Structure 1
Amino acid sequence: MIAPQATETKHWSFHTDLEKIGWLTIHSPEGSVNVLSREAIMELETLVARIEDLANSKQLVGVVLLSGKDSGFIAGADVSEFDGISEPSVLTEALKRTHALFWRIENLKVPVVAGIHGFCLGGGLELALACHYRIAVNDDKTRIGFPEVNLGIFPGFGGTGRSIRQAGPVDAMQIMLTGKMLRAGAARGLNLVDKLVRHRDMLRWEGRNAVLQSRRSSGAGWTKKLTALPLVREAVANQMRKQAGKKARREHYPAPYALIDLFEKHGNDWQAMVRGEIDAFVPLMGSPTATNLRRVFFLSEGLKKQGLKGAKFARVHVIGAGVMGGDIAAWCAYRGMSVTLQDLDMARIQPALDRAKKLFQKRYRKKREVDAAMLRLTADPQGSGVPRADVIIEAVVEKLEVKQSIFSGVEGRMKPGAIMATNTSSIELERIAEALKEPGRLIGLHFFNPVAQLPLVEVIRSRFNSDEAIARGASFALAIGKSPVVVKSAPGFLVNRVLMPYMLGAVERVEKGESKELLDAAAVAFGMPMGPIELMDTVGLDVGKSVATELGHSIPADSRFARLIAEGKLGRKTGEGFYKWEKGKAVKGETPANADIAALGRELVKPLVDMTEVVVEEGVVGSADMADVGVIMGTGFAPFLGGPMRARADGRA
């Protein structure tokens, strides 16, 4: 029997026990999550050499790989290093080194078992797949997947081939192409995980058993492998390209298509796919798309660092049960807060409760979770929740006098320190706050429709607000899983200010006889998620007119826009606007041919980009970076271009 041995490095610890089991633990010293930095990989090389020696000398019967962090296993490679290694020769060498290391782990004579809890993403999943057996904690915190496509790349540490080996070609490709994060049970169903346990503290015991029993994962069954046969694979790859084309154009987002090309070439041989991975991966890392997506990623992560440490919010009171107010209330309840929802009567509140239940049913897996969320959301026509609320949000019609009346009525009933917020989309806060005894207490929290999908909340600062009041507003946005961008109180703030010239410019072209289908197609070709006319219909023509008027844009009385509003044809919500709508989708006619649709797209988006520059110059938003991330999150502006300011600087808008 050997004596236990231990080794500590900056990122890893390794020791053997009296049963000759090796315990390898990752504990990245910086940050709340483990990442596979270049330094961590080099340290792992040294440890694997030691493990090889111990295995060859019969001093080791197996290894269990665990995480020392509460947040999870490994969140992926260190994205902060990507810019520094994107030069092709440097990146190629780094990838070859990591590939060789993972092959050494896979070829160890003793079993290597990965114990997974929390996040197991990207490079972390690739390392786990190089192990021989995987055990995961089956709880809501475990998330397993390949999010690389969101950064303009695909798995580069051998994960393409190894995931196909385990899950089969179609399932593995879907995981990589969508960037979807799986729960533990779903990962087990796809054979990415071999065993589930209920609690994290069971990982060590089950890992020990797996080593002593020399467990090895089996690959995907032969029926799944049929889709990788040569003639079938070509058809499958073409179908994948078709599906990818519905979400992203190849010239905008090349990574999904490069991955499909790699699959079509090597999908019947997982080891060949691993070997071909590097040559396909390297051109993507330094591409403009990947560079801009990394920038957007870091800007988004930076938003999470705002707010006050230790700020907590348990109770929210929402005034106004319309689409926005009701959906804000539902989202807060979904995020675990107790919510009271106020309107004039139950007839106005009930539709919001019905929509909330649909949201909960879509988001939760179990009926008891839906029921619990519904219990957290309470109809409150009398406003009884005001004195207990940590946050009060007004979301009624865009009429100054109505908002002033509401806040005058609740100001004296609020508890000390509670946030008083308006969801106004365009009215300056100073005007609303005129009726208050403490105008500095009112901040803006501007959500975007649909609330459950769009991540941005504009935290609006008036000249009356203190830094602490704004920081508390940002803290609340973060507490409900939203991304706060602080903007100065000015007509339209950031997003509506830049969107309106873009939409109205397109409407004006339609008024002059241009094809709405062509204009929308050109905007999508540029990289927008939908065209400006379809967007106007989606927002609602009445809402568009109200915001346009508030921002000083005139709507001619004899225009088609004005006539549609007068006829009650307000867009998607009424079934007709500029388009007719069926089953939630715009019914579009033929798109006329256009020789230079790309140029038309840039021309359409130019007013948005121009206004973003104006907003930055006026100091409405703190920096060009904040303008870029805010406009991307609030309008869907092409992320692959890095935002309107970056696109203008690069000469692409």
Structure 2
Amino acid sequence: MDRHAPAATKHWRWELDRDRLAWLTFDKQEESANTFSRDAVEELGRAIAAIRLENPKGLVIRSAKENFIAGADVEEFTRFASPEEALAFVKLGWDVFQELRELPFPTTAMVNGFCMGGGVEMSLACRYRVALDDPKTRFALPEVMLGILPAWHGVQWLPRLVGPAAALDMLLTGKSVDARRAKRIGLVDQAVPLRILENTARMLTLEAPRRKPLPFMQRLLLGPLRGVVVANARKQVAKKARREHYPAPYAILELWRKHDGDPFAAAHDPACSIEALFAHPTTKNLIRIFFLQERMKAVAKGVRFEPRHVHVVGAGVMGGDIAAVCAMRGLTVTLQDTSAERIAPAIKRAAQLFQRRMRDERRVRDALDRMVPDVTGDGARHADVVIEAIYENLEAKRKIFAQVEAIAPPEAILATNTSSLRLGDIAAALKDGSRLVGIHFFNPVPQLQLVEVVSADKTAPELARKAAAFVRGIDKLPLPVKDSPGFLVNRVLGPYMLNAFRLLDEGYKPETLDAAMEAFGMPMGPAELADTVGLDICLAAGKSLGKTTEVPEILANKVALGQLGKKTGQGIYTYRDGKAIKGQADAYGTDLIEALIEPYLLEAQAVAAEGIVADADLVDAGLIFGTGFAPFRGGPLHYLRSLGKAP
């Protein structure tokens, strides 16, 4: 491509090619990802002005990184001294993107990899969007997860492009869509392979086809029926989030309904103003959680370990789902159990997971091909990582590891998924105890991000770092913890659940306990959580933690009757089609909420004091991502500090 008149600033460079097509490239200096800091937005504005003076035939915006744009630089948010400063940053991005949209020639965003937040909004400012057809290409507006809203025209422009239903699904949930889904809903014009990505962007820009209008029904939903759309969406939001806890999704709806997505028209509207959101404690806490998540992602930074083959021993729910997640992330997996009949249900569940997540028959088939049933256990001979995920029995686990150690490559990670046994006790069966590490997943594995990476006294530190790198490689969040009964998550949940069982024995209705904890902000109350985990697992975990010899009567009786919870269709609740059948909760007050959460908070403090996890912030992170502790409260220890009850 012959180009001339190159121009560059710190983060942006642009040039004209022989067809007088302008190519504007974002390459954030000294960063691995492109983000919109204040200086990057200001430079974009200057580049747009300079390109406009050249009057090219069109403009293509692209990234020099592996991904397109990760959105606004969240670090900027931490530097705002007031809501007014936040609004000034919003105004900067709003104006620059409006200038891009008003250019008198065709513009195209050429998207590769993830395109998040402000990246999506910048692409909306362009007339066309071309995306790389690759699983790594994802579009999302995750601002709602930070307690804010897409204020650089996202709420204004997205519904006009794709219609209200698809737009609100992205705006209110922060969920991402891949390139093919983006093409189906009209977010992108083309989704193409890498070999023709640049040429497709070129031809689309130069040919500048007329855009098709939205269908008539979608235009009605944008216009006369907008109030109906918002009312229905508000009902759906209310099922998942209370306005007082999470104001952002409600603000998005009001901003679109009353002000067509213009945050400056809403400047004095407390229901949807930028100032009100930035002043809300939820926003500060959700931004705090964002940085805690980034810290966990960085645990394995710099560790060079790229496993290709994982061997999983145990094809039950946990083992089968661990294998499926690994295969979905491109790893070859051998799944061992005593017979093909035991492995078959895991393969069936994996196929269903792949269908839901991948939505592409070729990719589903490839993932299934990577899951290899193994009744002999021979796959361990070739594995980079071996994960034991059988039932919680010390002797059975020791026997497995003695067999695996004898045949696995000497450099392979040997890991247990135990939830309650001490690694030191399991490692007694190994000739070299330094090879054993805990890689503890949580159920359901595909949904829960946290994985505890457990080090015993003898665990080699380099092995633990490699285990953390493996966890990040399958897109989970590694949390280093010391070997101790229950580690972090189960140790804190143990007293909390035991307390709830005692209250049930005293006559409280399970519906009342669950309602109280959901009002506190937990995603699920303790009774339904116990059914989800399995009452037999709760009983075994309680015994192994050794906090008390007294077993709650309701727990002992249910397990004795084989009523183990959701997996058997009957536990504390009865289940139909996987959903708990609940009656009416009794009235309750703050005294019940405080009585229920107190053991959880006390145990979190004890774990921090004992140094089971490196520091209080990581205790908070682990319990938010591992137990669902109310995110809007910022974590249990942060919550106690906000009440003046912790240093």
For structure 1, list consecutive stretches of 5 or more residues without a partner in the other structure: none
**Alignment partner of 1:125 is 2:117:** no
TM-score of the aligned structures, taking structure 1 as reference length: 0.93
SS in 1 for 2:447: coil
Match of 2:294 in 1: 301
Given that 1:133 and 1:216 are in contact with CA atoms closer than 8 Å, whether structure 2 keeps it comes out as: no
| Structural mapping, 1:235-250, within 5 Å | 235-250=228-243
Given that 1:162 and 1:274 are in contact with CA atoms closer than 8 Å, whether structure 2 keeps it comes out as: no
| Inter-CA distance 228–600: structure 2 relative to 1 (3 Å threshold) | farther
Given that 1:534 and 1:586 are in contact with CA atoms closer than 8 Å, whether structure 2 keeps it comes out as: yes
For residues 218 and 406 of structure 1, the distance between their equivalents in structure 2, rounded to whole angstroms, comes to 62
After superposition, give the CA deviation of every residue in 1:469-492 in whole Å (9 maximum; x if it has no partner): 111111111122211101110111
Q: CA deviation at 1:347?
A: 2.9
Residue identity in the other structure for 1:577: G
1:397 to 387, 391, 396: 391
Matched residues, number: 640
Given that 2:318 and 2:443 are in contact with CA atoms closer than 8 Å, whether structure 1 keeps it comes out as: yes
Residue identity in the other structure for 1:84: R
SS in 2 for 1:629: helix
Aligned-residue CA RMSD in angstroms?
2.2
Match of 1:115 in 2: 110
Residue identity in the other structure for 1:285: F
Match of 2:607 in 1: 615
1:67 to 52, 63, 74: 63
After superposition, give the CA deviation of every residue in 1:486-542 in whole Å (9 maximum; x if it has no partner): 111011110000001111101101100112111100101111110001111111111
Match of 1:83 in 2: 78
For residues 456 and 557 of structure 1, the distance between their equivalents in structure 2, rounded to whole angstroms, comes to 29
Residue identity in the other structure for 1:107: E
For residues 43 and 333 of structure 1, the distance between their equivalents in structure 2, rounded to whole angstroms, comes to 42
| Inter-CA distance 617–556: structure 2 relative to 1 (3 Å threshold) | closer
For residues 229 and 499 of structure 1, the distance between their equivalents in structure 2, rounded to whole angstroms, comes to 49
Match of 1:12 in 2: 12
1:351 to 325, 345, 367: 345
357-366 or 630-639: which moved more?
357-366
Q: CA deviation at 1:450?
A: 0.8
Given that 2:505 and 2:552 are in contact with CA atoms closer than 8 Å, whether structure 1 keeps it comes out as: no
For residues 417 and 139 of structure 1, the distance between their equivalents in structure 2, rounded to whole angstroms, comes to 33
For residues 428 and 609 of structure 1, the distance between their equivalents in structure 2, rounded to whole angstroms, comes to 23
Q: CA deviation at 1:278?
A: 9.5
Q: CA deviation at 1:411?
A: 1.8
Match of 1:646 in 2: 638
**Alignment partner of 1:447 is 2:428:** no
Given that 1:86 and 1:286 are in contact with CA atoms closer than 8 Å, whether structure 2 keeps it comes out as: no
| Inter-CA distance 120–627: structure 2 relative to 1 (3 Å threshold) | same
2:88 to 81, 93, 99: 93
542-551 or 133-142: which moved more?
133-142
For structure 2, list consecutive stretches of 5 or more residues without a partner in the other structure: none
Residue identity in the other structure for 1:69: K
Q: CA deviation at 1:4?
A: 2.9
Q: CA deviation at 1:354?
A: 2.3
Q: CA deviation at 1:225?
A: 1.7
TM-score of the aligned structures, taking structure 2 as reference length: 0.94
SS in 1 for 2:105: coil
Q: CA deviation at 1:82?
A: 0.9
| Inter-CA distance 449–86: structure 2 relative to 1 (3 Å threshold) | farther
SS in 1 for 2:419: coil
Q: CA deviation at 1:205?
A: 3.0
For residues 276 and 205 of structure 1, the distance between their equivalents in structure 2, rounded to whole angstroms, comes to 42
| Structural mapping, 1:479-494, within 5 Å | 479-494=473-488
| Inter-CA distance 353–99: structure 2 relative to 1 (3 Å threshold) | closer
| Inter-CA distance 372–301: structure 2 relative to 1 (3 Å threshold) | same
For residues 344 and 328 of structure 2, the distance between their equivalents in structure 1, rounded to whole angstroms, comes to 17
Given that 1:487 and 1:493 are in contact with CA atoms closer than 8 Å, whether structure 2 keeps it comes out as: yes
For residues 213 and 44 of structure 1, the distance between their equivalents in structure 2, rounded to whole angstroms, comes to 25
Q: CA deviation at 1:310?
A: 2.3
**Alignment partner of 1:571 is 2:571:** no
Residue identity in the other structure for 1:287: H
Given that 2:495 and 2:600 are in contact with CA atoms closer than 8 Å, whether structure 1 keeps it comes out as: yes
Given that 1:425 and 1:446 are in contact with CA atoms closer than 8 Å, whether structure 2 keeps it comes out as: yes
| Structural mapping, 1:17-416, within 5 Å | 17-55=17-55, 60-71=56-67, 73-85=68-80, 87-199=82-194, 201-215=195-209, 217-230=211-224, 232-267=225-260, 275-276=265-266, 280-307=273-300, 309-416=303-410
Q: CA deviation at 1:377?
A: 1.7
Q: CA deviation at 1:163?
A: 1.0
Residue identity in the other structure for 1:138: D
SS in 2 for 1:434: helix
Given that 2:288 and 2:634 are in contact with CA atoms closer than 8 Å, whether structure 1 keeps it comes out as: yes
Given that 1:132 and 1:216 are in contact with CA atoms closer than 8 Å, whether structure 2 keeps it comes out as: no
| Inter-CA distance 500–14: structure 2 relative to 1 (3 Å threshold) | same
615-624 or 579-588: which moved more?
579-588
Given that 1:166 and 1:190 are in contact with CA atoms closer than 8 Å, whether structure 2 keeps it comes out as: no
For residues 216 and 347 of structure 1, the distance between their equivalents in structure 2, rounded to whole angstroms, comes to 57
Q: CA deviation at 1:565?
A: 1.3
SS in 2 for 1:110: coil
| Inter-CA distance 107–418: structure 2 relative to 1 (3 Å threshold) | same
Given that 1:194 and 1:217 are in contact with CA atoms closer than 8 Å, whether structure 2 keeps it comes out as: no
For residues 198 and 151 of structure 2, the distance between their equivalents in structure 1, rounded to whole angstroms, comes to 29
| Inter-CA distance 176–406: structure 2 relative to 1 (3 Å threshold) | same
| Inter-CA distance 118–216: structure 2 relative to 1 (3 Å threshold) | farther
**Alignment partner of 1:630 is 2:625:** no
Given that 2:151 and 2:263 are in contact with CA atoms closer than 8 Å, whether structure 1 keeps it comes out as: no
SS in 2 for 1:85: coil
After superposition, give the CA deviation of every residue in 1:154-205 in whole Å (9 maximum; x if it has no partner): 1011111111221223322222112121222322333322333332x53443
Given that 1:333 and 1:339 are in contact with CA atoms closer than 8 Å, whether structure 2 keeps it comes out as: yes
After superposition, give the CA deviation of every residue in 1:194-229 in whole Å (9 maximum; x if it has no partner): 333332x53443333344334464553432121133
Residue identity in the other structure for 1:145: A
